[in-house]
Amino acid sequence: MIIGAWAVYQLGLTNNRGAVDSNSRYMLSVDEMESLNDDQYTPEQVQQRWMRQYLKLAVFSKFFPTNAQLITTAAQYGHDPMLVDRMIAASSIYINDLSEYNSLLREVEQVMNRHPQLHTTNVIPWMDGPEWPALKDAIVRDKALIYEVGRLTGVEPRLIVGCLIGEQIRLFNTNRENFKKYLGPVKVLSVQSQFSYGVNGIKISTAKAIEDHLKDPSSPFYMGPRYEHLLDYPVEGKAQEDERYNRLVDYRNHLYSYLYTACILHQTMLQWKRAGYDISNRPDILFTLFNVGFAQSVPKPNPVCGGSHIKIHGQTYTFGAIGFDFYYSGELAEDFPFWRQRFIPGDKDLTEEEIAYIQGSVSNCKRPPRGWEYVKKDTTAVLPTVDDFDYSHEEDEYAGTYANE
């Protein structure tokens, strides 16, 4: 028996020689289907193809919802809309009758074809101007800082960006001619140094209140023990006032501007939550409260969106509405995606290394002297000019120019 088994093995009678799959030719046709990675298309053509693929998936989901969901996720990661066609075709190997799918797809396409494709601009009017693409580029430059602040404070970075956009858009339209000179070609954020400070327009009194809330467990704005040392100073006494000012008007490193912004968002959210009103899912209200300040943050049912009026291209918006528009627009979603939970409470105290990193994030750059904005225009005092600062590159020159404005 052993010799016989050995002979059968040696003769190869037990080998599975395999066979040509009956669907091999079909698989080849799937592989050879068009790919947008191989051809040149305009962004508009790519977008149109994505829309058509989503239409196909909507129909496909009526018959095979599990596969439609898998294909949708895979296509988004693949960055190629034509991948949808390939995946649907590949799945079709196991579908004996596609007549119902094809029939419904034709019906849906007929309905869509009755309406001509309109080539309209952005449905959000204030995103239509040339300043918006430039502002987006400037914001993405600070992506790493904003992400770090989100990690340190537990605040969704997209919320921080919503506040930033409202403030920068307001500044652009207040000093339109000057901003056009710098925001377009240089693409850097404006740093305020008059009355409100930094890229997000934080007042000194507001910054002081934020710091006090961090230390006071009895305050309705208290964020918890993890954050008590978030904004600690390496110096004591009167030197803290100068340090606070330096933090906010630092045009080379905007970390503190974002830290104070995130704290306002987190603190007002907690104030309302403790009063019985959860506004963590209301970015429009959070942006409004950021704009109007702690004094006007009064928890109540049915809050409304509002804030400062900002005129853009002849149309008036509120600060809260601009933040809301951005938040749900899908703009910059790849750089600042939506969190499942907008506020994540920290359970561990900040480490000494983290505190040292924060405190070391103030640049050694020259700034306008504190209080110069209160000097009357008819005085003989000499105000600082761009020439009084040591600017070694375009971003510094831009920041200094607007400090003087």
- Residue 115 DSSP symbol: S
**d(C-alpha 153, C-alpha 266), whole Å:** 8
- pLDDT tens track for 192-231: 766 788 899 999 999 999 999 999 999 999 999 999 999 9
Q: For residue 281, what pLDDT is reported?
A: 93
Helices (H) and strands (E) in the chain, counts: 17, 5
Structure-token match 């309302």, residue found: 272
Q: For residue 237, what pLDDT is reported?
A: 73
10 Å Cβ neighbour count for 62?
13
Beta bridge partners of 310: 317
Q: For residue 15, what pLDDT is reported?
A: 61
What are the boundaries of each domain within the chain? 24-113, 129-365
CA-based Rg of the chain, rounded to a whole angstrom?
29
More confident site: 384 or 80: 80
- pLDDT tens track for 367-395: 776 666 555 555 444 444 433 433 333 34
Question: pLDDT > 70: what percent of the chain?
Answer: 79
**Token output for 120:** 């309209």
Structure-token match 């066609």, residue found: 85
* 80 touches 37 (CB < 8 A): yes
Q: pTM for this one? A: 0.78
Burial of 393 (0-12, 13-18, 19+ CB in 10 A): exposed
**Token output for 362:** 């103030």
End-to-end CA distance of the chain: 100
* 141 touches 395 (CB < 8 A): no
Average pLDDT over residues 140-153: 96
Closest CA to 138 of 172, 175, 88, 96: 172
- Residue 93 DSSP symbol: G
The pLDDT confidence band at residue 42, using thresholds 50, 70 and 90, is: confident
| pLDDT over 80 (residue 398) | no
**d(C-alpha 177, C-alpha 292), whole Å:** 27
Which of 85-94, 159-168, 364-373, 388-397 has the least mean pLDDT?
A: 388-397
**Token output for 341:** 């939970």
Q: For residue 51, what pLDDT is reported?
A: 84
**Token output for 142:** 């600070």
The pLDDT confidence band at residue 306, using thresholds 50, 70 and 90, is: very high
Closest CA to 309 of 121, 138, 126, 180: 126
The 3-class SS string of 249-310 reads CCCCCCHHHHHHHHHHHHHHHHHHHHCCCCCCCCHHHHHHHHHHCHHHCCCCCCCCCCCCEE
10 Å Cβ neighbour count for 289?
26
- For every residue of 121-184, DSSP letters joined together read --SSGGGSSTHHHHHHHHHHHTHHHHHHHHHHHTB-HHHHHHHHHHHHHHHHHHSHHHHHHHHH
10 Å Cβ neighbour count for 293?
14
